[in-house]
Amino acid sequence: MKFKIGMRTFKTGLSVFFCILVSILLKRETYVVAAITTVFTLREDMENTLRYGKHRIIGNVMGAIMSIAVIAIFNWLGRTELVQLIFIPVIITLMIALLASLGYHEGTVGACATLLTIVFMIPANQSYGYAFARVVDSFIGMGIALLVNYVIPCKVGKKRFIRTGKSEEEVRAEGFNPEK
């Protein structure tokens, strides 16, 4: 068994470090959402990192909005087991279909997790504030993933050097040798 820490793994750990640090400095209640978002968001290049981050944020926003709809239904019909049994699966099904139709299918897991967390784990009087905080923390996590992926030089790829947009041959001609 060969143990190796690759660049993406290193950048993920570094991103989690910065999520925790920023959350502490900003006195956020928790840094779990920011850290999870950065882990899900950070990818092999900026293009994919941006895409996954966008999907994650859209998913979290959609989950937060739909949780408000579920809470409104609870306030209207009561929070009985029958209401939960019928409306939560219906709302989740509609939310997944909506995200997929908008092209944000990679945000569905985050959306469902956000909705279920707010509805089942957060006290009713704190749910709106938690929904907003979760979205803010998602932006923190995505921002850090993007920043780390931009600042730390990327590996020379098959077709182009991701950070500069130049081909591998152009980068080598300028004196960069990834084998050194």
Cα atoms found within 13 Å of the Cα of residue 133, Cβ hemisphere only: 17
Q: Whose structure tokens read 């590996």?
A: 155
Mean pLDDT (the chain, rounded): 86
Is residue 161's pLDDT more than 50?
no
- Asked whether the predicted pLDDT for residue 47 surpasses 80, the reply is yes
Q: Which of 30, 47, 44 is nearest to 138 (CA)?
A: 30
Instruction: Please tell me the pTM assigned to this model.
Output: 0.75
pLDDT at 61: 93
